C-alpha cells in the first residue's frame, strides 16, 4: 500500500503553515525568480503611486483650494495623471505576469502529479475512486498557485502599500495615527481565532466537493447501466444527499471565513469616524488648514483595502495550504513496489513462467493464494480454470507485478521478477483483459499504444491478424476514426479485437489473456478466438477463461481452487479423471462449447 514518507510527513501534516510555504518556495522560487522580481517591481510601483496619491492631497487642498495657487494647478494635475498612468501600467503588467506564472505552475504540478500516479502501484487506484481522485487533483493544484499569488501580492503590494500610507499618515498627524492604530491588535486576535477554525473545515469541504464531482463523473460513465436498471431515482437521491452535505460544509466554511469582513469593517468605521471627529475639532477650534486632515483621511481610506486583504491573508492561506498539503500527500507517497536498487533488466529467452510456493493477500490478511506452485512452459499455452475468487486473475496481476507476493517467488526464465525492473518486465508482456479499455484518440492511436515506434504498416498488419482490419475500413475515417470515450463508438467485439491488435503489435514473448472472450456474443467470440489463436503461436501464453472453447486446445490446463493447484493436465487427461473438478465441469458442457462458470 502506498503511504506518505516519514521525511515529508511533517511538511504536510497538522498546522505547520510555514513548512508548507517554505517547500512551495523552495520548489518554485528559482524557476520563477526573474518573473517574480518583475512582479514585485510592478507591485512596488503600485504601492508608491498609491501612497503618492494620498500624500499629494494635502497640496491639492491647501495650495489650490485654500491658498488658491493658480501656478500649481497644472503641475499637481499632471503629477496626479502621471501617477495614475504609471499605476495602471504596473497593474496590467503585474496581473498578466502573475497569470502566466500561475498557468505555468499549474501545468508543472499537473505533470508531476500525473507522472507520480503513473509510477504508483495498482493498489493505490484500488483504494481510491478515479473520478473523486481526478476532482481532488484538479481542485488542489490551484492551492499551490494561490499560495504563491497570495504571499507575493500581500507582501510586495499590500504590506508595502500599507507601510507607505502609514508613513503618509504619520507625516500628516502623528498623534492621530497612533490613536488609530491602537485598535490593530483587536483585528489580529480575531483573525488568529478564525484561522484555527478554518483548517479542518476546509479539508473536509475539499473531500466532499471532490466526492460530488467524482460521483457525477462515474454516473455519466455508467449511464447505460443506470437506465437499464432504472436506477435514476435512487442514484439521484444518493447524489442529492452528497451535494446537500457538501453545500452545508461550504456554507460553514463561508460563515467562518467571512467573519473577518465584519470585524475589519467595524474597526475601519471606528477609525475613520474618529479621524473625522478629531480633524473637524482641530479645524474648528485651532483654525488649522484642512489639507493635512484630508491627506490623512485619504491615506486612511486607501489603507483600508490593503489592511483588509492582509487581515484575511492567514485565513486565505490556511485554505490554500490545505489544498497544497493534499497535493504533496500524493507527491510524497512511497510506493513499496519501487524497483530494487540492484534491479536489472529482464532478459527473456523462451519465456518460461514459474510460481514457486507463492502466498498472496490484498492487505486484509485473507490469503487469495496459498503456496501456489506451477510452471507455464515457454512458447506453450497454459490455461487457468477454477471457481470465481479462486485466484486466477490474481496470478495474471502478480506476473505483471501490479502487486508483490507475500512470500514465495515468481520466475521468468529462472529470473526472479522481484529483482528486475518493472519496465523491462512489462515490456516483455502483452496483456488482453476482459474489459477492452480504449483511450481518447483514433483506432490507430489505440493500437500504437502497444508499441509507440510501430509503423502504420505494422499496425495494419496487427489489425489484420486480429480480424479487425475489415471493420476498421468500414468506419467513417478508417484507422483515423475517433473511438469516443472508452471506445463507445465500437461494439464489444470490435473493442476487443482492437485490444488484441494492440497486443499483437507489441510483439512480446509472453501473452496474458484474462477472460478475453467471456463478455462477447458467439460471432464476436469466434472472430476474437481466431485472432487469439494467431497471436498465441510461438508465445508463452497464460489464459484465464470460463469458456471451455477458449482453452480446450491448451498445452496444459491448471485447475485452481481456493488459491491452490488441485489438478494439472491436458483437456483429454483431465476430462477422463473420475471425480475431478475439471471432469465434472466438462460433463456439464456440450460439444466443447460449455462455460467453465461455477461461480
Task: Kindly report, residue by residue over 496-518, the tens digit of the pLDDT.
Answer: 889 888 988 988 999 998 877 66
565: in domain: no
170-174, 277-281, 434-438, 471-475: which has the minimum mean pLDDT? 277-281
Task: Give pLDDT, residue 423.
Answer: 87
pLDDT reading at 353 higher than 90: yes
368-377, 519-528, 590-599: which has the minimum mean pLDDT? 590-599
180: in domain: yes
419 or 208, greater pLDDT? 419
Residue-range definition of the domain harbouring residue 96: 3-334
257-261, 326-330, 400-404: which has the minimum mean pLDDT? 257-261
For the segment 77-94, the average pLDDT, to the nearest whole number, is 90
179: in domain: yes
Instruction: Give the bridge partners for 382, in sequence order.
Output: 542, 556
Confidence of residue 12 (pLDDT cuts 50, 70, 90): very low
d(CA 588, CA 69): 111
For the segment 81-101, the average pLDDT, to the nearest whole number, is 89
481 or 193, greater pLDDT? 481
458: in domain: no
Task: Report the chain's C-alpha Rg in angstroms.
Answer: 35
- Residue 300's nearest CA partner among 188, 171, 192, 187 is 171
The answer for residues whose C-beta is within 8 angstroms of residue 352's C-beta and 6 or more apart is 375, 376, 377, 378, 411, 412, 413, 414, 540
CA distances from 210 to 102, 215, 219, 274, 560 (A): 22, 8, 14, 47, 41
159-163, 293-297, 359-363: which has the minimum mean pLDDT? 293-297
Residues 212-255 have pLDDT tens digits of 776 776 676 666 566 665 677 777 787 788 788 878 877 877 77
526: in domain: no
Helix/strand/coil percentages in the chain, nearest 5: 65, 10, 25
593: in domain: no
d(CA 496, CA 502): 10
- Residue 304's nearest CA partner among 184, 391, 397 is 184
For the segment 540-563, the average pLDDT, to the nearest whole number, is 85
Rank 276-280, 352-356, 450-454, 515-519 by mean pLDDT and report only the highest: 352-356
pLDDT over 90 percentage in the chain:
17
CATH of the domain at 293: 1.20.1560.10
Confidence of residue 382 (pLDDT cuts 50, 70, 90): very high
48: in domain: yes
Residue 68 — left, alpha, or beta (φ > 0 → left; ψ -120 to 50 → alpha)?
Answer: left
49 or 186, greater pLDDT? 49
At 168, is the secondary structure helix, strand, or coil? helix
479: in domain: no
For the segment 269-288, the average pLDDT, to the nearest whole number, is 71
Q: How many domains does the chain have?
A: 1
Amino acid at each position: 500500500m502506498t503511504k506518505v514518507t516519514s521525511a515529508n510527513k511533517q511538511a504536510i501534516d497538522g498546522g505547520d503553515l510555514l513548512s508548507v510555504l517554505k517547500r512551495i518556495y523552495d520548489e518554485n522560487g528559482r524557476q520563477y525568480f526573474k518573473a517574480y522580481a518583475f512582479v514585485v517591481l510592478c507591485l512596488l510601483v503600485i504601492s508608491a503611486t498609491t501612497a503618492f496619491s494620498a500624500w499629494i492631497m494635502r497640496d491639492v487642498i491647501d495650495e489650490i483650494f485654500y491658498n488658491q495657487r493658480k501656478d500649481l494647478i497644472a503641475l499637481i494635475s499632471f503629477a496626479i495623471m502621471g501617477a495614475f498612468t504609471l499605476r495602471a501600467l504596473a497593474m496590467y503588467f503585474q496581473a498578466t505576469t502573475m497569470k502566466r506564472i500561475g498557468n505555468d505552475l499549474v501545468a508543472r504540478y499537473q505533470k508531476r502529479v500525473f507522472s507520480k500516479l503513473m509510477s504508483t502501484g495498482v493498489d493505490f487506484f484500488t483504494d481510491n475512486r478515479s473520478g473523486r481522485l481526478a476532482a481532488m487533483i484538479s481542485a488542489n493544484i490551484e492551492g499551490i498557485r494561490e499560495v504563491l499569488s497570495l504571499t507575493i501580492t500581500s507582501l510586495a503590494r499590500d504590506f508595502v502599500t500599507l507601510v507607505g500610507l502609514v508613513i503618509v499618515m504619520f507625516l500628516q498627524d502623528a498623534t492621530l495615527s497612533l490613536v488609530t492604530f491602537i485598535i490593530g491588535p483587536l483585528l489580529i486576535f480575531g483573525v488568529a481565532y478564525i484561522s484555527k477554525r478554518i483548517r479542518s473545515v476546509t479539508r473536509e469541504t475539499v473531500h466532499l466537493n471532490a466526492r460530488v464531482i467524482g460521483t457525477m463523473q462515474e454516473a455519466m460513465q455508467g449511464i447505460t447501466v443506470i437506465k437499464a436498471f432504472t436506477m435514476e431515482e435512487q442514484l439521484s437521491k444518493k447524489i442529492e444527499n452528497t451535494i446537500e452535505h457538501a453545500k452545508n460544509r461550504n456554507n460553514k466554511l463561508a460563515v467562518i471565513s467571512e467573519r473577518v469582513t465584519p470585524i475589519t469593517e467595524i474597526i475601519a468605521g471606528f477609525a475613520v469616524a474618529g479621524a473625522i471627529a478629531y480633524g473637524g475639532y482641530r479645524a474648528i477650534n485651532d483654525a488649522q488648514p484642512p489639507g493635512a486632515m484630508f491627506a490623512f483621511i485619504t491615506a486612511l481610506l486607501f489603507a483600508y483595502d490593503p489592511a483588509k486583504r492582509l487581515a484575511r491573508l492567514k485565513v486565505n492561506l490556511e485554505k490554500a495550504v490545505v489544498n497544497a498539503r493534499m497535493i504533496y500527500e500524493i507527491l510524497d507517497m512511497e510506493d513499496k513496489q519501487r524497483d530494487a536498487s540492484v534491479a536489472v533488466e529482464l532478459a527473456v529467452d523462451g519465456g518460461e513462467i514459474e510460481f514457486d510456493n507463492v502466498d498472496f493477500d490484498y492487505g486484509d490478511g485473507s490469503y487469495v493464494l496459498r503456496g501456489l506452485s506451477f510452471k507455464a512452459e515457454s512458447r506453450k499455452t497454459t490455461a487457468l480454470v477454477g471457481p470465481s475468487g479462486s485466484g486466477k486473475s490474481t496470478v495474471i496481476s502478480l506476473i505483471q507485478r501490479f502487486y508483490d507476493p507475500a512470500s514465495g517467488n515468481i520466475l521468468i526464465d529462472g529470473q526472479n521478477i522481484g529483482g528486475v525492473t518493472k519496465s523491462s518486465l512489462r515490456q516483455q508482456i502483452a496483456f488482453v483483459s476482459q474489459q477492452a479499455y480504449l483511450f481518447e484518440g483514433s483506432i490507430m492511436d489505440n493500437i500504437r499504444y502497444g508499441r509507440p515506434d510501430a509503423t502504420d504498416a505494422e499496425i495494419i498488419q496487427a489489425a489484420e491478424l486480429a480480424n479487425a482490419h475489415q471493420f476498421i475500413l468500414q468506419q467513417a475515417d478508417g484507422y483515423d476514426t475517433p473511438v469516443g470515450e472508452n471506445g463507445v463508438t465500437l461494439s464489444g467485439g470490435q473493442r476487443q479485437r482492437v485490444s488484441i491488435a494492440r497486443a499483437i503489435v507489441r510483439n512480446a514473448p509472453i501473452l496474458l489473456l484474462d477472460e478475453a472472450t467471456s463478455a462477447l456474443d458467439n460471432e464476436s467470440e469466434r472472430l476474437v478466438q481466431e485472432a487469439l489463436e494467431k497471436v498465441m503461436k510461438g508465445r508463452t501464453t497464460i489464459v484465464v477463461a470460463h469458456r471451455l472453447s477458449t482453452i480446450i486446445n491448451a498445452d496444459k490446463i491448471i485447475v485452481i481452487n481456493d488459491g491452490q493447484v488441485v489438478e494439472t493436465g491436458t483437456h483429454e487427461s483431465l476430462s477422463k479423471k473420475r471425480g475431478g473438478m475439471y471432469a465434472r465441469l466438462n460433463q456439464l458442457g456440450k460439444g466443447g462449447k460449455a462455460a467453465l462458470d461455477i461461480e
